[in-house]
Amino acid sequence: MHKFHLNPRPVKVSIFILIALAFALTACAPAVAIEPTVEAAAESIETPAAVFSAVDIIDSVSREVVIDAPAARIVSLAPSITESLYAIGAGDLLVGRTEFCDYPEEASALPAIGGFSSSSISIEAITDLEPDLVIGGSIYQADLIDALESAGIQVIILEPNSIEEIMDSLQTLGAVTGHTTEASSLLDEMQTRIDTVTQVVETIPEEERVSVFYEVWNDPYMTTTNQTFIGELINMAGGVNIFADLSEDYPSISSEEVIEKDPQVILGPSNHSDQLSGEIIAEREGWGDLSAVQNGRIYIIDGNIVSRAGPRVVDALEAIAQALYPQSFGE
Name residues whose C-beta falls within 8 Å of residue 243's C-beta, 6 or more positions apart in sequence: 213, 223, 224, 225, 251, 253, 257, 261
Total domain count for the chain? 2
Looking up residue 212, the CATH number of its domain turns out to be 3.40.50.1980
Quote the CA–CA distance of 316 and 312 in Å, as a whole number.
7
The pLDDT of residue 151 is above 90 = yes
Identify whether residues 127 and 240 lie together within a single domain: no
Identify whether residues 165 and 100 lie together within a single domain: yes
The predicted pLDDT at position 6 comes to: 59
3-state secondary structure 192-209: HHHHHHHHHHCCCCHHHC
Q: Which residues of 217-233 are buried (b: 16+ CB within 10 A; e: fewer)?
A: bbeebbbbbbbbbbbbb
Last residue in a domain, options 188, 218, 246 = 188
Identify whether residues 224 and 180 lie together within a single domain: no
CA 242 from chain centre, in angstroms, equals 21
Identify whether residues 142 and 254 lie together within a single domain: no
3-state secondary structure 60-122: CCCCEEEECCCCCCEEECCHHHHHHHHHCCCHHHEEEECCCCCCCHHHHHCCECECCCHHHEC
Q: Is residue 142 part of a domain?
A: yes
Closest CA to 148 of 77, 223, 46: 77
CA 279 from chain centre, in angstroms, equals 29
Going along 158-258, which residue ranges are E strands?
211-214, 217-218, 221-222, 240-241
Identify whether residues 72 and 161 lie together within a single domain: yes
Q: Is residue 198 part of a domain?
A: no
Instruction: Give yes or no for a contact between 135 and 75, defined as CB atoms under 8 angstroms apart.
Output: yes
The predicted pLDDT at position 331 comes to: 60
Last residue in a domain, options 156, 188, 220 = 188
The conformation of residue 171, written as its DSSP 8-state character, comes to: H
Q: Is residue 320 part of a domain?
A: yes
Identify whether residues 34 and 91 lie together within a single domain: yes
Instruction: Give yes or no for a contact between 71 and 177, defined as CB atoms under 8 angstroms apart.
Output: yes
Instruction: Give yes or no for a contact between 56 and 3, defined as CB atoms under 8 angstroms apart.
Output: yes
Identify whether residues 172 and 79 lie together within a single domain: yes
Amino acid at 54: A
Mean per-residue pLDDT, 163-177: 97
Identify whether residues 149 and 286 lie together within a single domain: no
Identify whether residues 17 and 166 lie together within a single domain: yes
Last residue in a domain, options 135, 162, 188 = 188
Q: In what order do the strands lie in the sheet with 74-76?
A: 94-96, 74-76, 133-136, 154-157
Positive or negative, the Cα torsion across 315, 316, 319, 325? negative
The predicted-structure confidence for 193-214, as pLDDT tens digits, reads as follows 999 999 999 999 999 999 999 9
Instruction: Give yes or no for a contact between 38 and 311, defined as CB atoms under 8 angstroms apart.
Output: yes
Cα angle: 179, vertex 180, 184; to 5 degrees = 120
Helix, strand and coil percent figures for the chain, each rounded to 5: 45, 15, 40
Q: Is residue 195 part of a domain?
A: no
3-state secondary structure of 260: helix
Amino acid at 165: E
The pLDDT of residue 1 is above 80 = no
Identify whether residues 157 and 18 lie together within a single domain: yes
The predicted-structure confidence for 226-250, as pLDDT tens digits, reads as follows 999 999 999 999 999 999 999 999 9
The predicted-structure confidence for 255-306, as pLDDT tens digits, reads as follows 999 999 999 999 999 999 999 999 999 999 999 999 999 999 999 999 999 9
**Could you list the residue range(s) of the whole structural domain that residue 215 is in?**
203-329
Q: Is residue 40 part of a domain?
A: yes
Q: Taking every pair of C-alpha atoms in the chain, what is the biggest distance, in angstroms?
A: 66
Identify whether residues 171 and 231 lie together within a single domain: no
The predicted pLDDT at position 51 comes to: 75
Q: What is the pTM of this model?
A: 0.86
CA 137 from chain centre, in angstroms, equals 10
The predicted-structure confidence for 10-62, as pLDDT tens digits, reads as follows 444 444 444 444 443 433 333 333 344 444 444 444 444 447 889 999 999 99
Identify whether residues 179 and 228 lie together within a single domain: no
Q: Is residue 196 part of a domain?
A: no
